[in-house]
């Protein structure tokens, strides 16, 4: 189950509860406090116990521009050139 809530123009909260078919670990606890520096950055917490995973986060809808070290505003929608053979 995944549930999203819009918090603002660029931010959303997400809650995910999942039961996996197979477990890789008995217990996982992760905390992420990054508000920027990567695509869809935001703080989050994940707790997994055997086959069950609980994940809650606040994330940014935007992508991170590593050239400018800032959020990509989408104004330079670069498209890679087609490979042409002559």
Question: Which residues, 6 or more positions from 6, have their beta carbon under 8 angstroms from its beta carbon?
Answer: 12
- How far, CA to CA in Å, does 7 sit from each of 11, 44, 50, 65? 5, 15, 31, 22
pLDDT along the chain (86 residues), means of 10: 91 93 85 78 91 92 78 63 54
With 0.85 as the threshold, say if the pTM is over it. no
Q: Strands 52-60 and 44-49: what pairing?
A: antiparallel
pLDDT recorded at residue 82: 57
pLDDT value of position 21: 83
3-class DSSP state of 32: strand
List the one residue out of 56, 52, 54, 55 whose CA is nearest residue 23: 52
pLDDT of residue 39: 72
């Amino acid at each position: 189950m995944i549930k999203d809530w819009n918090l603002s123009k660029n931010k959303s909260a997400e809650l995910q509860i999942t039961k996996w078919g197979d477990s890789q670990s008995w217990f996982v606890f992760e905390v992420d406090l990054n508000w920027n520096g990567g695509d869809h950055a935001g703080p989050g917490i994940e707790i997994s116990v055997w086959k069950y995973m609980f994940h809650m986060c606040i994330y940014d809808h935007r992508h991170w521009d590593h050239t400018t070290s800032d959020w990509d505003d989408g104004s330079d929608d670069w498209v890679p050139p087609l490979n042409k053979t002559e």
